[in-house]
């Protein structure tokens, strides 16, 4: 757009676009650093135009990723030599808000640019309705909620069902100054899960991973911790037409899977698989006997009170957590596994350590979430692909390296019809479920948000759920 301007008033140029890709390739972090791998060349073809030529590694979706999900950086305001270093100097932008204030570790303030070049574009009508947006950081959910109660912050997203039921009895709620709202979206629920790091020798065994999954007592945790508010997640595209659960594999799916169809468990292939269901006691003997029988069949045995592997090594591992809610969940799982002779240690670390260990895959198991959409694409490579397995900073938390998954993702992003695309995603879902790379946990039917009554939003929720840019002040 010829009107596009940086916040210092200088125009956004083709040179900025070319500079961005060169810089991110050399010093950017994944996935930005690898994006030029699919690009043959980038060239300026006009005063306001850049032409991308893609190579044979590209696909139909990749131009959209380049256009919509890669930032453009200002060449005149960035020193390439220091780009990958830490700084508190705000980066120059070109959007509707300027980065106005930074209080490191505490607060970031964005201020609306009255001269924003795109404010009259049709796509921007009805959004960006606040002159200032402040994002405050809290290390503990308790202190964040106290700030909300005192009116220091206006919006509180609440993912704790017990807290949602019990904590809203303060005066601002009873007098109507605070409103509780649940937003329901039409897209798939995210997959929250205990994620196995299969790079670890212990978790390279699929039989063990499946047995641990079957031991998870969702019913007890849902009842005791969450007021039975959660639903069990059973697909990486839960609640959508892309989910494989509840429907048998079609002939098209089997065709797309090829020889890999033989690796999928029969109950996952025919759509009858569901996560194990317990009586909610935390010690369902029938379930635990079934799990132990499964472990015994795979070569595991009890030596005294400890379960040992076929290599005579103790079955013991650590769950890395980052907050109290994850810690409580892991401790509940620990109690169940102890009945099987499995040692689980829970280690809660600060955010800086968590991020460092996450990016270098230095963990046995984590509580993680995979976001889902109705249009999965090339980003799936960065979650499940062999190429991402050992790439630090990738989202392949589980350490998956399966040629069948690689091939299926490559095929999926090139399909043209919705019918074939849906079949490919369902086939991928079956491969992931059959691999038992994670223990599916649970999800809320909607997004729960408490907010000040002077804030408003459209009556109809968008397909992809709540969108803060469309909110306004009454």
pLDDT per residue over 372-415, tens digit each? 999 998 889 999 999 999 999 999 999 999 999 999 999 998 89
The CATH number linked to 357 is 3.10.105.10
Q: Angle at Cα 321 formed by Cα 137 and Cα 388, nearest 5°?
A: 95
Residues 213 and 68 in one domain: no
Please check whether residue 261 lies inside any domain of the structure: yes
Residue 314 forms part of a structural domain: yes
Residues 73 and 213 both lie in one domain: no
Give 295's pLDDT tier (boundaries 50, 70, 90).
Answer: very high
371 and 246 both lie in a single domain: yes
Residues of the domain holding 67:
14-82
pLDDT of residue 90: 87
- Is 5 part of a structural domain of the chain? no
What mean pLDDT, rounded, does the chain reach? 95
Residues 282 and 407 in one domain: yes
Return the number of other C-beta atoms located less than 10 Å from residue 286's C-beta. 9
Asked, for residue 88, whether it belongs to a domain, the answer is no
Residues 77 and 196 in one domain: no
On whether residue 95 sits in a domain, the answer given is no
Q: Using an 8 Å Cβ cutoff, are 381 and 411 in contact?
A: no
Between CA 291 and CA 298, with CA 292 as vertex, the angle to 5 degrees is 95
Has residue 247 been placed in a domain? Answer: yes
In a domain, 459, yes or no: no
Lowest-pLDDT choice from 40-49, 53-62, 188-197, 370-379: 53-62
Same-domain check for residues 245 and 381: yes
Residue 63 within a domain: yes
Chain segment 110-130, per-residue pLDDT in tens: 999 999 999 999 999 999 999
Residue 42, beta-bridge partner list: 52
Neighbours of 174 (CB within 10 A): 10
Q: State yes or no: pLDDT of 89 exceeds 90.
A: no
Helical ranges in 190-284 per DSSP H: 206-215, 218-226, 251-257, 266-269
For residues 237-249, give the mean pLDDT: 96
In the listed set 60, 82, 104, which residue is the last one of a domain according to the structure? 82
| Total domain count, the chain | 2
Pairing of strands 343-348, 365-370: unpaired
Q: What is the spatial distance between Cα 23 and Cα 91, in angstroms, rounded to a whole number?
A: 15
Using CA atoms, how far residue 292 sits from 63, 287, 436, in Å, is: 50, 9, 17
pLDDT of residue 96: 97
User: Is residue 347's pLDDT more than 90?
Assistant: yes
């Amino acid at each position: 757009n010829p009107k596009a301007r940086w916040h210092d008033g200088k125009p956004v140029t083709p040179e900025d676009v070319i500079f961005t890709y060169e810089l991110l390739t050399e010093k950017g972090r994944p996935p930005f650093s690898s994006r030029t791998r699919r690009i043959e060349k980038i060239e300026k073809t006009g005063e306001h135009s850049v032409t991308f030529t893609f190579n044979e590694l590209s696909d139909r979706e990749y131009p959209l990723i380049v256009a919509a999900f890669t930032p453009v950086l200002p060449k005149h305001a960035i020193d390439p030599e220091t780009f990958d270093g830490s700084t508190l100097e705000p980066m120059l932008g070109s959007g509707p808000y300027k980065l106005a204030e930074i209080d490191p570790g505490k607060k970031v303030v964005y201020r609306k640019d009255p001269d924003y070049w795109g404010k009259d574009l049709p796509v921007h009508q009805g959004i960006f309705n606040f002159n200032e947006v402040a994002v405050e950081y809290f290390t503990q959910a308790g202190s964040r909620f106290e700030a909300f109660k005192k009116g220091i912050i206006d919006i509180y997203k609440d993912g704790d069902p017990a807290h949602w039921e019990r904590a809203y009895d303060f005066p601002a709620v009873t007098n109507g100054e605070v409103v509780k709202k649940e937003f329901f979206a039409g897209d798939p629920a995210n997959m929250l899960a205990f994620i196995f790091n299969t790079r670890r020798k212990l978790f390279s065994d699929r039989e063990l991973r499946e047995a641990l999954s079957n031991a998870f007592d969702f019913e007890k945790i849902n009842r005791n911790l969450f007021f039975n508010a959660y639903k069990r997640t059973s697909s990486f595209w839960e609640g959508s037409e892309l989910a494989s659960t509840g429907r048998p594999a079609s002939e098209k799916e089997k065709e797309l899977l090829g020889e890999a169809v033989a690796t999928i468990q029969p109950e996952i292939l025919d759509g009858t698989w569901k996560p194990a269901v317990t009586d909610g006691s935390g010690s369902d003997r029938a379930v635990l006997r079934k799990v132990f029988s499964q472990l015994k069949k795979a070569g595991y045995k009890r030596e005294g009170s400890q379960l040992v592997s076929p290599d005579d090594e103790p079955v013991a591992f650590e769950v890395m957590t980052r907050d109290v809610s994850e810690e409580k969940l892991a401790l509940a799982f620990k109690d169940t596994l102890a009945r099987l002779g499995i040692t689980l240690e829970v280690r809660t670390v600060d955010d800086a350590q968590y991020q460092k260990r996450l990016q270098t895959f230095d963990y046995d198991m984590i509580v993680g979430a995979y976001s889902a959409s109705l249009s999965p694409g090339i980003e799936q490579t960065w979650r499940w692909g062999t190429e991402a397995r050992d790439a630090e900073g990738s989202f392949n938390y589980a350490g998956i390296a399966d040629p069948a998954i690689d091939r299926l993702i490559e095929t999926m992003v090139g399909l043209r019809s919705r019918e074939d695309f849906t079949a490919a995603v369902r086939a991928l879902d079956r491969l992931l479920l059959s691999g038992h790379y994670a223990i599916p946990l649970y999800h809320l039917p909607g997004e729960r948000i408490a907010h000040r009554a002077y804030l408003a939003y459209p009556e109809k929720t968008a397909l992809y759920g709540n969108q803060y840019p469309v909110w306004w002040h009454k």
